Amino acid sequence: MIMGFSGGSVVPPAVATAILLLLGLAAAASAQLSATFYDASCPSALATIKSAVTAAVSKEPRMGASLLRLHFHDCFVQLGGPSYTVPLGRRDSTTASLSLANNDLPPPTSDLADLVGNFSRKGLSTTDMVALSGAHTIGQAACTNFQSRIYGESNINAAYAASLQANCPQSGGDGNFAPLDVATPNAFDNAYYGNLVSQQGLLHSDQQLLNGGSTDALVSTYASSATQFSADFAAAMVSMGNIGVLTGSQGQIRLNCAKVN
């Protein structure tokens, strides 16, 4: 559910190269996460990577969602959303499991209880879960991920469902995409929550956040307060970045972030 449907964009070689080269310079640095991790070993790291990422997102807006989903040193990504300080120095694992990754990410068919439980098992609160779901303010999802919702669920705006059906038939159309945020698909803001209030959540798991359950009030708060959403999203991103941290001699800096060296 969260950050799982970006439209299949691939991180450009220039962005990946900039990140890998600069991070490699600090491989033997402090074993503790720190907001100033690269200040001495590579003082131009943040500015250089920000420049490459900005250029990539300008060329292909979906790249922002791809990078956010990847959460690959998320501190370097500026998408027009909240600005916050993230501890740096996290290293990659020396094992890779596609099945484990897929099992850990909630599917778009998740109900509220599934979402709360999934995030809780990672040490994240319900507030973290609702705030992180706001990452769906950017990115796209394939037809196959919302097909059953737009044809078989009642808690969806009728006009919105009809507009999606025009590009997503009841069978087929798997290669067709729709924005996760119908209001401002390429801007990082709190419009995602306003969509939920209007029953315009694209995925089943999205609309579950406002469907007569325990998270309704928080969704309404975020829909009316961009400031509160930004603050909670930033805090939740820091918490997520501290899950299973590898530092120092643990792990590695991958040459290809999709597989171990």
Supply the mean pLDDT for the chain: 80
Q: State residue 7's pLDDT score.
A: 43
The verdict on whether 73 is a catalytic residue reads yes
| Higher per-residue pLDDT: 31 or 80 | 80
Tell me the backbone φ, ψ of residue 82, rounded to 5 degrees: -65, 150
Q: Are strands 177-179 and 140-142 parallel, antiparallel or unpaired?
A: antiparallel
Read off the pLDDT band of 69 (50, 70, 90): low
- For residues 27 and 157, which has the higher predicted lDDT (pLDDT)? 157
Q: Domains in the chain: how many in total? A: 1
Ordered DSSP codes for 158-180: HHHHHHHHTTS-SS--TT-EEES
**Residue 136 assigned as binding residue:** yes
**170-194 pLDDT per residue, tens:** 999 988 999 999 999 988 899 999 9
Q: What is the pLDDT of residues 122-145, one digit of tens each?
A: 899 999 999 999 999 988 999 999
More confident residue, 32 or 6: 32
| Phi and psi angles of residue 141, each rounded to the nearest 5 degrees, phi first | -125, 145
Contact 134, 222 (CB under 8 A): yes
- Contacts with 168 (C-beta within 8 Å, 6 or more apart), sequence order: 143, 146, 147, 150, 176, 178
For residue 106, what are the β-bridge partners? none
Radius of gyration of the chain (CA): 19
C-alpha 206/C-alpha 208 separation (Å) is 5
Classify residue 40: in a domain, yes or no.
no
pLDDT at position 12 over 70: no
Is the predicted pLDDT of residue 63 greater than 70, yes or no?
A: no
221 is in an annotated binding site: no
CATH number of the domain bearing residue 165: 1.10.420.10
Residue 256: helix, strand or coil by DSSP? strand
Domain membership of residue 251 (yes or no) is: no
Spatial distance between the Cα atoms of 219 and 237, rounded to a whole number of angstroms: 18
In a domain, 128, yes or no: yes
**For 76-88, what is each residue's pLDDT tens digit?**
333 766 777 777 7
Domain that holds residue 223: 97-242
Compute the distance between CA of residue 214 and CA of residue 147 in angstroms, rounded to an integer. 26
- The stretch 232-250 carries a mean pLDDT of 85
Choice between 111 and 106, residue whose per-residue pLDDT is larger: 111
Quote the CA–CA distance of 167 and 179 in Å, as a whole number.
12
Report residue 96's pLDDT band, with 50, 70 and 90 as the boundaries.
Answer: low
Burial of 58 (0-12, 13-18, 19+ CB in 10 A): exposed
Query: 57-61, 158-162, 185-189, 240-244 — which one is most confidently predicted on average?
Result: 158-162
* Spatial distance between the Cα atoms of 43 and 22, rounded to a whole number of angstroms: 9
Q: Is residue 124 part of a domain?
A: yes
The answer to the question of residue 166 being in a domain is yes
Q: Residue 43: inside a domain, yes or no? A: no
pLDDT of 72 higher than 50: no
**Marked catalytic residue, from 73, 90, 149, 254:** 73
Summarize the confidence of residues 63-85 as an average pLDDT: 55
Cα separation, 188 vs 108, whole angstroms: 21
Position 105 pLDDT exceeds 50: yes
Is residue 227 very low, low, confident or very high in pLDDT (cuts 50, 70, 90)? very high
Residue 183, classified by CB atoms within 10 Å of its CB into exposed (0-12), middle (13-18) or buried (19+), is: middle
Residue 126 is assigned to a ligand binding site = no
Using CA atoms, how far apart are residues 127 and 133, in angstroms rounded to an integer? Answer: 10
90 domain residue, yes or no: no
